[in-house]
Homo-oligomer: A and B are copies of this chain.
Amino acid sequence: MDTLLVREKANQAIEILREKEVDAWLTLVRETSAGGDPILPLIYGEAFLTWESALILTRNGGRIAIVGRLEEEAARQVGVYDTVIGYDESIRPHLEGIFERLQPKEIAINTSLSDVYADGLTHGMYQLLLRYLEGTPFAGKLISAEELIAALRGRKIRTEVARIRTAVQATDTIFRRTFAWARPGVSEKEVQRFMQGQARESGFELAWTPENCPIVNAGPASPIGHTAPGDLAIEPGQLLHIDFGVRSDGYCSDMQRMAYFLRPGEKKAPDEVLRGFETILRAIQQAAALLKPGVLGKDVDAAARKVVTDAGYPEFPHALGHQLGRQAHDGGGLLGPTWERYGDTPLRPVEVGQVYTLEPSLVLPEYGTIAVEEDVLVTERGVEYLGAPQTELILR
């Protein structure tokens, strides 16, 4: 159990409640083996909650868990909740009793239009909650916890940064081995198998679903996007592009690296390839220079996007970067354009302690995908790369 981390994050949550002036934060779940609420690993750990359960953190430092009687002891073992209430038949009277006692002016719940990680409350559970609070003053006090959760997930504590750094460094090592080993004739699937084997041998889990971790694109015929590697083989005169990440103690890396395979007699990559690669590097550098506490995600995205379009390439059909943490796509503020599918996440100010990917891309119809992805930490002064960035196109 990750008791220390969970305790530190719960303390941080209470600080954030004070900062945002929210009296109480309610996480209401049931049978979390079905998926549960993505906030649970940060405030409860990995143990399952089987029956309807309420975790309440308050601005005054209250840490209350209402759980099925058979999970009372497990809730105590979490080490965060000093009030643990076990119930047999219904959570309702206990929930009401707690709110009667606390008299919160606002109760934040895990619902959000634009942030999946702040939207763990299902519609069914929301309706149950309204039913439980019917006839009380508390039904009218519900607000979204999205700002709290974005702050809690986003502002990494030292332990979290250290775990991401470990994941980044392991990924870097695996990339180096992979590009040293890869040669013309090797298929995308074989590259995937090699990298997954390397991760397994070094004792790391994959950062996302094995089918497309890594994503491997050999040359221009490879379908772009989140697809599984296929039977296409690496060919001289083409690009090999790989998107990969591992998980270290629950925290992820997410990186892209690329190489050009020389044709017989070629000494360097074609100018068109070099120009594309340098454009992507410049877009990343431009973004990294702008990425500071207080800037809006959309402005960082726009600056990198402009480097790519000013160079005459079409704009990339995705955000410049996302936050990284327990998940490769960790929610909260996004370095992205204000497209409907991103909701309001590109409008949030960047904060100290957040970890972002920077991953502009372009496609050269004759050579393949050009994309590099770096993982960076936002500090008081700007960004810190969590691993050595790719500064040269790998030639093989």
Contacts and interface: CB of A to CB of B under 8 A. Distances in A.
A234 to B, nearest CB: 19
B226 A90 contact: no
Interface string A342-379: 00000000000000000000000000000000000000
A154 interface: no
A123 B119 contact: yes
B125 A119 contact: yes
Task: Kindly report how many copies of this chain are found in the complex they form together.
Answer: 2
Interface in A271-316: none
Given A35-B36, A52-B341, A70-B224, A113 B128 contact: yes
Contact of A123 (B48, B77, B121): B121
Interface residues of A, number: 67
Contacts of A111: 122-124, 127
A329 B226 contact: no
B317 A69 contact: yes
Interface in A45-103: 46-48, 50-52, 68-74, 77, 87-92
Interface in A88-145: 88-92, 111-128
A68 B227 CA distance: 12
Given A46-B211, A89-B340, A128-B113, A329 B33 contact: yes
Q: A interface, by DSSP: helix, strand, loop or mixed? A: loop
A186 to B, nearest CB: 21
Interface in A4-48: 30-31, 33-38, 46-48
A251 to B, nearest CB: 14
A117 B328 contact: no
A89 to B, nearest CB: 5
B328 A33 contact: yes
Interface string A163-190: 0000000000000000000000000000
Contact of A225 (B69, B89, B223): B69
Nearest to A91: B341
A92 B340 contact: yes
28 contacts: A1-B228, A33-B209, A34-B38, A34-B117, A35-B36, A46-B210, A47-B226, A47-B228, A52-B341, A70-B224, A70-B318, A71-B225, A73-B223, A73-B227, A74-B225, A88-B317, A89-B340, A90-B339, A111-B123, A111-B124, A112-B124, A114-B124, A119-B122, A119-B124, A121-B123, A122-B122, A123-B123, A123-B126
